[in-house]
Structure 1
Amino acid sequence: MKKTKLLFHKIKHWEYWPYQIVYLPVYFQYLYYAVKAKSFFFFNASNPSIKNGGFFMESKKEIYDLIPQEYYPKTFLFKVNTPFKEIREILKKNELKYPLIGKPDIGLRGTAVKKINSEIELLDYSTRANFDFLIQGLIPFHNEIGLFYVRLPNEEKGIITGIVQKEFMIINGDGKKTIKEHLEKDPRYLFQIEALEKEYKEKLNTVLNAEESINLVPYGNHCRGTKFIDASHQITPKLVDRFNLICEKIEGFHFGRMDIMFNTYEELENGENFKIVEINGAISEPTHIYDPQHSLLYGWKELTRHFKYMYEISIHNKKKGAKYLTFKEGVKEFKKHHEYYDTILKF
């Protein structure tokens, strides 16, 4: 019965549809632009300082290194099979305390991102990780947005094209129902039951008191149950000015979504009490489209609008000396991407 209910929920809500359908008009748009640019890999020039423009196989650590340190949390890269003693010593030396966040250096829609609460969990994560990974300090702010920033290379200032507010999977207790029973009331959370049972095990059978709450997935990823709400009405001239100042300091960044944790919008406008969780480049989605209030037609309109921005930026950067991948290089990178995809899903 639950499976049937979830199937109908998926059919009624396009945010859960396969990306092959959601991106249908973009495929035709891409082919048109590829012909005009005379390259299947023109997107590589959208962000010249980021590998492949940030479309695939880009290192999060290399992107962090482009950002001024004060804008992101302490972050350390560990190669696969790094001895645990070395990991522990580096984190201790740099005064990182639990809880921490572990994530793959080359990300894949939130796969293998995990909150690490203890040394035992850190040992487990580092042992299981069959990929290079980052350990990052937990950001203390409770609000998270995805802010999409675009700046044409021939223009001094950029624009914010959309903001998505992220509503985490927070369960508020009532002293009666278990965490799992609360989850089963919401189809969005019900999709995540299997993954949550694997992570939390018997803890899902806990009954929370009326004053208790728990954030089961403390990072804003749609694939992990986070609800996306369009907050583009929060875009103000002051906020745009602030992010123009920030992005001026990030070399070669013209197109992408910045995931940001912050305290209040007012403080964010003033450049206070916020951290950049990460920056996504050419592969970025304008994720405000996944607000359940939006139609598929709206989603298509926004996707094609942003893809046009990426094409125009790539063309401008090509004229300024940025290079496209050759067809042979692009195919090689795609093969690497698919091999990595198979690897990380085994985590």
Structure 2
Amino acid sequence: MKLFIHKVLNWEYWPFGLVYFPIFFLWIYYSIQAKTIFFFNSANPKIKNGGFMNESKIEIYDLIPQQYYPKTLFVKANTSVTEVLKQLEIAQQNFPLILKPDMGLRGNGVKKVANLEELKDYHAKADFDFLIQDVIPFENEVGIFYVKLPNEAKGKITGIVSKEYLIVEGDGSSTIEELIKKTPRFELQLKSLQKEYKDKLLKVLLKGEKINLVPYGNHARGAKFIDSSHLISPKLTDVIETISKDISEFYFGRFDIMFNTFEELENGQNFSIVELNGSASEPTHIYDPKHSIFFAWKELARHITYMYKIGKYNNDRGFKFLSYKEGMKEYKAHNECLNKIVSI
């Protein structure tokens, strides 16, 4: 009951359909203008479906200069574990490693593995393409939303979100599980944490001892999102613009970036792109608990309008919208892959 009340009183936990219900009508309006509901693909013409559905992370990484993201190995479904280990040795990738599906679903299927046994366990369950990445050595993470009209010389940052990981701090007497239950945001993740950590949650942490239970900033996995849009600056905009110019025909999406210090990030130093998300990107600064649902609706409408305008301009340039038949084919393929990922 406590968790139910928490979810009701905090809109960030409301069902997707409820949060996006008013936005549905705006989408229909733009669909009528575009003569297709699948107008999003032209927002980023070189990313499959604009990055909205059935996209490939490795294909997106391949568009980004390699110095901006961690060493990444692509593993095709049904590749033998022997071959995977051989490729890891060639790539000189060492544990710990981050494993994640080539097509993402809000953090599902993402796992940090510490040794060979954990890698083999993940491999045995994965009947989908996945990536193996080096762990990024920086502690801080932000999501930076970038938009650019194709006829403009320079784009802009429309929002920044900072992320607080699911970290518990010991008091010398409580188990990790008891510490989790003290924070509703964390307790909502308890079932998945029990599945992953099992008896390890019964350990008592020393006073002041901290443990990061989910080492990636995903809202659906318990991270707290904080609106840090006040950090938008000309220097940071220049850094993001420099990266974006090296990504062919990229105009709309969110960079998830890990970094050492914000000053270094503004100077283009000591940072790494975790992921680049395309047309399906949310302006995730809306999920800051201080914001109302009305603020969220305003920001969602603003960004969907950007996406339509960019897509319309690119469509006029020759990057055609998906037809209904093409879009439904991609949508079905997307859902088939998601069902595999959710079941891992």
Whether TM-score is above 0.5 comes out as yes
Give identity over the alignment, percent: 58
Whether the 8 Å contact between 1:25 and 1:304 is mirrored in structure 2 is: no
RMSD across aligned positions (CA): 0.8
Aligned pairs for 1:323-334 within 5 A: 323-334=320-331
2-structure distance, mates of 1:289, 1:40: 24
1-structure distance, mates of 2:255, 2:238: 15
2-structure distance, mates of 1:122, 1:308: 42
How big is the shift at 1:211?
4.2
Residue in structure 1 matched with residue 108 of structure 2 by the alignment: 111
Residue in structure 2 matched with residue 68 of structure 1 by the alignment: 65
Whether the 8 Å contact between 1:183 and 1:190 is mirrored in structure 2 is: yes
Residue in structure 2 matched with residue 168 of structure 1 by the alignment: 165
2-structure distance, mates of 1:283, 1:215: 28
Residue in structure 2 matched with residue 121 of structure 1 by the alignment: 118
* Residue aligned with 1:216, SS: strand
| Range with bigger deviation, 55-64 or 24-33 | 24-33
1-structure distance, mates of 2:153, 2:22: 31
Match of 1:335 among 326, 332, 335: 332
Residue in structure 2 matched with residue 94 of structure 1 by the alignment: 91
Residue in structure 1 matched with residue 286 of structure 2 by the alignment: 289
How big is the shift at 1:343?
1.8
1-structure distance, mates of 2:8, 2:37: 33
2-structure distance, mates of 1:33, 1:325: 14
Match of 2:148 among 147, 151, 168: 151
How big is the shift at 1:341?
2.1
Residue 265 of structure 2 is aligned to residue 274 of structure 1 = no
How big is the shift at 1:201?
0.4
Residue in structure 1 matched with residue 230 of structure 2 by the alignment: 233
* Residue aligned with 1:40, SS: coil
How big is the shift at 1:241?
1.1
What TM-score do you get using the length of structure 2 for normalisation?
0.99
Residue in structure 2 matched with residue 38 of structure 1 by the alignment: 35
Residue 269 of structure 2 is aligned to residue 263 of structure 1 = no
* Residue aligned with 1:258, SS: strand
Deviation readout 1:274-295 (Å, 9 max, x if unpaired): 0000011000000000000000
* Paired positions, count: 344
* Residue aligned with 1:257, SS: strand
Residue 7 of structure 2 is aligned to residue 22 of structure 1 = no
How big is the shift at 1:212?
2.2
2-structure distance, mates of 1:210, 1:74: 36
Residue in structure 1 matched with residue 248 of structure 2 by the alignment: 251
Whether the 8 Å contact between 1:183 and 1:189 is mirrored in structure 2 is: yes
| Range with bigger deviation, 127-136 or 92-101 | 92-101
2-structure distance, mates of 1:193, 1:251: 41
Moved over 4 A (4+): none
Whether the 8 Å contact between 1:81 and 1:127 is mirrored in structure 2 is: no
Deviation readout 1:259-285 (Å, 9 max, x if unpaired): 000011110111100000001100000
Where structure 1 has 5 or more consecutive residues not aligned to the other structure, the ranges are none
* Residue aligned with 1:189, SS: helix
Which residue type is aligned with residue 18 of structure 1?
Answer: P
Aligned pairs for 1:178-217 within 5 A: 178-217=175-214
1-structure distance, mates of 2:18, 2:323: 28
How big is the shift at 1:21?
1.1
* Residue aligned with 2:142, SS: strand
| Range with bigger deviation, 85-94 or 75-84 | 85-94
